[in-house]
Structure 1
Amino acid sequence: MNLTDRVAVITGGAGGIGAALARRFAAEGAAAVVVADLDAVAAAAVAEDVGPVAHAVAVDVTVEDQVRELVADTERRYGRIDLFCANAGVSTGAGVEADDADWDRAWRVNVLHHVYAARAALPGMLERGGGYLLHTCSAAGVLTAVGDAPYTATKHAAVGFAEWLAITYRDRGVRVSALCPQGVDTPMLADGLASGHLGAQVIAASGAVLTPDQVADATIAGLAEERFLILPHPEVAGYALRRAQDPDGWQAGLRKLVRRLRA
């Protein structure tokens, strides 16, 4: 996909990867960029920074009616949605002891939000004969987020759902990509490091932390090639291959790293 003259919607657009995507889409010549976020003030600030093509909307992605209205409002305002980026996500930093509320929030933001977006955006895309769904799924969706059971489980589900969409709708003109970055310099990572989140420590120890703008660059390249898996950290492909070929060895390596960090 070429972003020139396209209408794009980005959830979780008020910061981190979402804000970087908004800026980059505008720089690529997008006709409109809708910055959607639970934080209305921050979304408005990003839209103002992006410029005249941007429009901010307050949306709680865990409420299907609000996601449906986001899509309907964008289609009324601009006539179509060419690219819907389901980018909002949450982590917990917890294991099996995470309470039901944390599991439910991770499920609703990291998975059901993608379902709601697809339900709302697909009818218009199918009627027009084309469109693009971009799901931010994280490298945790193809590997494991050490120290965060809800994040790992829900991001795997997000990748699985994106793959199902790609298989089901590609021949009807709708392309789907799963954006799977590993360490990114965002508030999520900073908060995790500050709180002693084991997964954040693993990422920091890897030394491969990208800026949101670098992730946006990789996203543009992936969209141009219409790749299903967009991997801003190319090494993730190698990790995934090792994990598939030798799951016991892969797990042993991670356990060794965890022991070293805990020591």
Structure 2
Amino acid sequence: MNYGFDGKVALVTGASGGIGRATAVAFAASGAAVVVSDVNEAGGLETVALIEAAGGKAVFQHCDVANADQVKALVARAVSEYGRLDFAHNNAGINSMGANEYEDDVWARSLSINLSGVMYCMREQAEVMLKQGKGAIVNTASINGLVGNAGQPAYVATKHGVVGLTRHGALRWAKAGIRVNAVCPGVIETPMTAPLAANPDMRKIMDNLTPMGRMGRAEEIAGAVLWLCSDQASFVTGHPLVVDGGATAT
């Protein structure tokens, strides 16, 4: 769906592939200029190339969201390049599947990227949007930000934290014209889940985790992000939108 974002500017973190790439491409297809960000420069530049090949506008900015100075530079790049910032999708994150998240280094890394990174991004983005009097921020949480998971304490804790930050931002900036929401994906087919899904037996298990009997597609999450940023969601803020094929309905 084309939301008519001509003249608008969107920023997407974690946009070298998966959900971030799908969202960046979708923003561009709806007319927005896009700032593509990731620590993976090759993947980020590929996302830019995909957007430009389809006639859209995009630039790449390397950014480790766990580094507050790099986040500040990222948002400054959006303003210097395009003069404003209308939409932000704070999507960068890690899932330490197979790792012991009780280990100090894994725990610390998860918090720095998944939680502190979202806070740094929201803080800088809101500063620009406050001057404009309008803006929309969408954070990528997870269904594990709403329900428990016995195997991933850091992932569950950080994604619950993202939902909390989202509600905080929605309340803090509600009267300033800035809406803050989150998407909570279920099991999605992305480069992050690809190693597991490559095993036929594991793929069957992952497909069966949802009542719909399949993994979700990155484009389905992108569609939710764009809707949350659009004027069609003008009265929606502080909401964790679940996109999970019915997994949390069970």
TM-score per shorter chain, which class? 0.7 to 0.9
Checking the alignment, whether the CA contact within 8 Å between 2:110 and 2:154 is kept in structure 1 is yes
Q: Compare the two structures and name the one with the higher helix fraction.
A: 1
Structure 2 unaligned blocks of 5 or more: none
Q: Secondary structure at the match of 1:34?
A: strand
Identify the residue that residue 256 of structure 1 maps to in structure 2. none
Aligned-pair identity (%): 31
Q: Distance in 2 between matches of 1:48 and 1:117?
A: 24
For residues 161-240 of structure 1, the aligned pairs below 5 Å read: 161-193=165-197, 203-206=206-209, 207-224=213-230, 225-226=232-233, 227=236, 228-233=239-244, 235=246, 238-239=249-250
Q: State the Cα deviation string for residues 220-261 of structure 1 (Å, max 9, x = none).
A: 23333433222223625635xxxxxxxxxxxxxxxxxxxxxx
Q: Which amino acid aligns with 1:83?
A: F
Aligned counterparts of 1:214 and 1:96: Cα–Cα separation in 2? 30
Matched, 1:75 2:79: yes
Q: Does 1:23 align with 2:29?
A: no
Q: 1:97 to 1:37 in 2, by over 3 A?
A: closer
Deviates more, 1:97-106 or 1:230-239: 230-239
Q: 1:128 aligns with which of 128, 132, 138?
A: 132
Give runs of aligned pairs for residues 1-263 of structure 1, distance below 5 A.
3-30=5-32, 32-51=33-52, 52-93=56-97, 98-193=102-197, 203-206=206-209, 207-224=213-230, 225-226=232-233, 227=236, 228-233=239-244, 235=246, 238-239=249-250
How far has the Cα of 1:192 moved from its partner? 4.2
Instruction: Determine helix, strand or coil for the equivalent of 1:180.
Output: strand
CA contact (8 A) 2:101 2:154 kept: no
* TM-score normalized by the length of structure 1: 0.82
RMSD: 2.4
Gaps of 5+ in 1: 240-263
Q: Distance in 1 between matches of 2:69 and 2:180?
A: 23
Q: Helix, strand or coil: the match of 1:98?
A: coil
- Partner residue, 1:254: none
Over 6 Å off, 4+ runs: none
What is the TM-score when the length of structure 2 is the normalising length? 0.86
**Which of the pair has more CA radius of gyration?**
1
Alignment length, in residue pairs?
A: 236
CA–CA separation in structure 1 for the residues paired with 2:164 and 2:99: 21
Q: Using the alignment, how far apart are the partners of 1:188 and 1:151 within structure 2?
A: 14
Between the two structures, name the one with larger relative contact order (CA 8 Å, sep ≥ 6): 2
